[in-house]
Amino acid sequence: MIDGAKGIENLVDRLAVDHILSREEFCYLLENIRPEQDGYLYEKARKQALASYGNRIFVRGLMEFTNYCKNDCYYCGIRRSNQKASRYRLTPEQVMDCCHTGYGLGFRTFVLQGGEDPWFTDDKIAYLVERIRGGYPDCAITLSVGEKDYDTYKMWFDAGADRYLLRHETANPCHYASLHPPQMSSAHRKECLGNLKKIGYQTGCGIMVGAPYQTTGHIAEDLEYMYGLQPEMVGIGPFIPHHDTPFGDRPAGTLRQTLLLLAIVRLMLPGVLLPATTALGTIEPDGREQGVMAGANVVMPNLSPLDVRKKYMLYDNKISTGVEAAANIKELKQRMASIGYEVVTDRGDFRKTLPECV
Ligand code: 5AD
């Protein structure tokens, strides 16, 4: 179908120009790209990121405000069935303290992320959003609290939330069913993402690379789904096992697979806000720098209070006290500067119109 060594570079070139390939071509690219060709893809992706946003890295202050969760996802360390997880909730005052600290450190986006915790009713979350909106009118507020109905999402949007992160995890319904209990479905997840877009949120979807049972065919479907959704953000990190989950003995996703996908997503969605995730930094000490070199342009340091940080353990060995800690933003700035990038104090909104590029 596609001829020899030039085939891969031709596919990368075409992706950079057309921003889409067929499912078969995505599969071919993922299965046949040789390690010595990775650099060709990464460089194209990095150039696209530079053309879209310059050498600027946006930071988001992450507040993991509850690790209670009513869901039971097979891969996740804070799943309901994990009785060994030590549970916590932050009070509104603690959340406001995190914002205060974060603002002082230069953060202009606050991300409220948590498990699907029924104690935090829709009204309580709206209250948190209103408090942050009132105190920080110049900041973006991102929510990441799972699946809700249209009216709830709309209420939070009207309360002042700007963005919403909800990874679709996998676009393939059968694969989704192998990662989640029967009460959850890929169709509902996609419906939620559609509603978020409709309401006007800057919306983020995403996947774990190397999740159990994942095939290249699934990844090709994910890419096709993302292209159709046209999300403003995409969260991509390696799957990492958590020892107290059903997938505790599964292998982690690899650095290379994650970098390849980051680069492909950058070329497919040129203006997307693409974090170099904590999971990437967990499997490799300089994973996030490598992510930036493959087209990522966002990092999300942790603003949660120190004593709860170790409890938000989605996977084993999740890092939380190094440069991923918001308090160490100076070191993060130095590390990004060492690869030619500048961490900026900026809301870092999605850019609808991009300058002509590559
Ligand atoms: N490894 C990597 N990522 C995980 N997540 C949950 N559990 C794991 C794990 N074991 C990711 C999911 C979820 C996000 C908040 O964290 O993709 O959407």
- Relative to the CA of 279, which ligand 1 atom is closest? 2
Flag whether pLDDT at 357 surpasses 60.
no
Q: Which atom of ligand 1 is nearest to the CA of 247?
A: 10
Which of the four pLDDT bands, split at 50, 70 and 90, describes residue 235?
Answer: very high
Q: Which atom of ligand 1 is nearest to the CA of 235?
A: 17
Confidence of residue 5 (pLDDT cuts 50, 70, 90): low
Q: What percent of the chain has pLDDT over 70?
A: 97
Task: Kindly tell me if the per-residue pLDDT of 303 is higher than 80.
Answer: yes
Domain boundaries defined on the chain: 4-344
pLDDT value of residue 356: 58
Q: For residue 134, how far is its CA from the centre of ligand 1 (angstroms)?
A: 31
Atom of ligand 1 nearest to the CA of 241: 10
Does residue 7 surpass a pLDDT of 60? Answer: yes
Entry pTM: 0.97
> Ligand 1 center to residue 239 CA distance, Å?
7
Q: Mind listing the pLDDT tens digit for each residue in 61-75?
A: 999 999 999 999 999
> Each residue of 19-48: pLDDT tens digit?
999 999 999 999 999 999 999 999 999 999
* Ligand 1 neighbours by CB, cut-off 6 Å: 75-76, 167, 169, 208, 237, 239-240, 242, 279, 314-315
* Mean per-residue pLDDT, 314-323: 90
Residue 230 has pLDDT above 70, yes or no: yes
Please say if the pLDDT value at position 87 is more than 70: yes
User: CA 202, CA 273: separation in Å to the nearest integer?
Assistant: 10
pLDDT at 322: 83
Average pLDDT over residues 319-348: 92
Q: Does residue 242 have a pLDDT over 70? A: yes
Q: How confident is the model at residue 325 (pLDDT cuts 50, 70, 90)?
A: confident
Amino acid at 138: D
C-alpha 35 to ligand 1 mean position (Å)? 26
The CATH number assigned to the domain with range 4-344 reads 3.20.20.70
Q: Which residues contact 76 (CB under 8 A, 6 or more apart)?
A: 69, 242, 245, 314, 315
What would the pLDDT profile of 113-124 be if each residue is shown by its tens digit? 999 999 999 999
115-158 pLDDT, tens digit each: 999 999 999 999 999 999 999 999 999 999 999 999 999 999 99
* Range 93-113 average pLDDT: 97
Instruction: Write the CA distances from 243 to 76, 116, 180, 315, 318, integer angstroms.
Output: 10, 21, 17, 8, 12
* Mutational pocket test of ligand 1: of 302, 315, 319, the residue with most ligand atoms within 8 Å of the beta carbon: 315
Q: Which residue has the higher pLDDT, 304 or 358?
A: 304
pLDDT of residue 4: 61
Output the CA 317–ligand 1 centroid distance in Å. Answer: 13
Task: Share the mean pLDDT of the chain.
Answer: 96
- Among 72, 76, 179, name the best residue to mutate to test ligand 1's pocket (greatest count of ligand atoms within 8 A of Cβ): 76
Distance 73 CA to ligand 1 centre (A): 9
Q: How far is the CA of 242 from the centre of ligand 1 (A)?
A: 10
Checking if the pLDDT of 251 tops 60, the result is: yes
Residue 3 CA to ligand 1 center (angstroms) comes to 37
Sheet holding 163-165, edge to edge: 61-66, 109-114, 140-144, 163-165, 202-209, 233-238
What's the full length of the chain, in residues? 358
Contact between 46 and 331 (Cβ < 8 Å)? no
Residue of the CA atom closest to atom 3 of ligand 1:
239
Ligand 1 centroid to residue 207 C-alpha, Å? 8
Q: What is the model's pLDDT at position 354?
A: 78
Closest CA to 143 of 222, 134, 152, 135: 152
